[in-house]
Structures are given as structure tokens and as C-alpha cells.
Amino acid sequence: MGFGIACTVIDIAFAKRWQMNEPVLSWLPVGMIILSTLILLISQSWRWSIVAFAIQYIAMFWMISWEWPLGLAAVKLVTGWMAGAVLGISQPGAALAETGFTRISGGGFKLITAALIWVLAFAVAPSLQDLFPAAHAYLLGAVILIGMGLLQLGMSHQPLRVVLGLFTTLSGFELLYAAVDRSVLVAGLISGVNLVLALVGAFLLVNPEPEETL
């Protein structure tokens, strides 16, 4: 969190100094999003996936802070990390093992499809500037999150992957929505949705045996 805040402060300072439209270091969070979503897609280890998930939310917080006050943007980071913590402590062990792919060919296939999403995102993001008043890097990050999340959802049958895919997709939409609306109520409700989604993910991972009914 400290790293994210430091980067944001540097970012805002540089942007003000040189009066640029695009925040300085704006490509760094996009890079973080590309890397974290790729790890989420390919990784077979839930630990790496949770780490990537946390990094994804740092990048998202960084970008939202360009549009929202720092305090309100921090809500996204806190919510995301709490969701990651809930999912992290609910691991039964082999929650990410896919049955349909071998490790190398499956990874290669996923890498190629991810590359297609990146190309698509680079092609689509500029045209979104007509609809959403935000920086190019910001929209690029949002489109990559939505695309990679949908890719994850389309390729996975495991509850953890599905829940992480939903979080990734929702993060992208949250970025888009943050560019047009600053409502505290919506921010709170979406945070509530994220936390309940994390709890549902935890339930799907550990689904307890029945208790005796009275």
C-alpha cells in the first residue's frame, strides 16, 4: 500500500509540474495490470495468484487516484486486498488445478490468447476516449482488465479461477465507471459487492459438510 501511495504522490507531483494531460509514469500501472492478469491466467499456484491479485488492485488504486480523491480511491485498494485475504485463507490446496490443459501447451495457448486481448485492448482503448473522459493509459488498463477477466471466465471451471476472473472483469468496469461517476454510495455498494463476492468465493472453495439439523 505504501508503494502505491508513494507512486501516486510522485505521479501527481510530476503531472502538476509539467502540466501534462497524461499522468507521468502512467504506463507503469498498465504494465502491472498486464503482468498481474497474465499471472492470474497462467499460474497453477494459488499463492502466486493471490499475490498477482494484490498487485492488480495496487495498479487499479493508482489509476483511480487520477480520477478520484486519494481517500476514496483507497477504498478500492482496501476492498481488493480484503477480498484477496478472504480467498487466500480459504484455500483447500489444489484449487487452481485445471484438468483440460497440460502445463506447457495450456500455458502457451493462454499466453497467445492473452496477447490477442492486449492487441485488441490497444486497438479499442483510443476510441473509448470519445465516451469516457479519461487518459489513454487509464482506458487501456480498464479494457485489458475486462478482456483478461472475460478470458479467464471463458477458460475456467474452477471456482477460484471463476471468482478471480469476475474480480478482474469487475475491476475493469469499476475503472470505467470511476471515470464518469464519483458517487460515494455507489463506491460503497460496489465495495460491498466485492466483499460479498469474496465470501461467496470462499464458500464455494470450502463448502462445509452439513451440520446436524434440529
* Residue ranges binding other proteins (CB under 8 A): 130-131, 153, 157, 159, 162, 165-166, 169-170, 173-174, 176-177, 180-181, 183-186, 188-190, 192-193, 196-197, 199-200, 203-204, 207-214
Identify which of residues 23 and 172 has a Cβ nearer to other proteins in the complex. 172
Q: At what angle do helices 159-178 and 70-88 cross, to 10 degrees?
A: 180
Q: C-beta of 77: minimal distance to other proteins in Å?
A: 19
Identify which of residues 15 and 161 has a Cβ nearer to other proteins in the complex. 161
Identify which of residues 28 and 195 has a Cβ nearer to other proteins in the complex. 195
Contact 169, 55 (CB under 8 A): no
Q: C-beta of 49: minimal distance to other proteins in Å?
A: 17
Cα distance between residue 124 and residue 172, in whole Å: 14
Identify which of residues 28 and 153 has a Cβ nearer to other proteins in the complex. 153
| CB burial of residue 158 (10 Å; 0-12, 13-18, 19+) | middle
Cα distance between residue 212 and residue 154, in whole Å: 38
Short-list 172, 168, 167, 154, CA closest to 199: 167
Q: C-beta of 11: minimal distance to other proteins in Å?
A: 26
Q: C-beta of 171: minimal distance to other proteins in Å?
A: 10
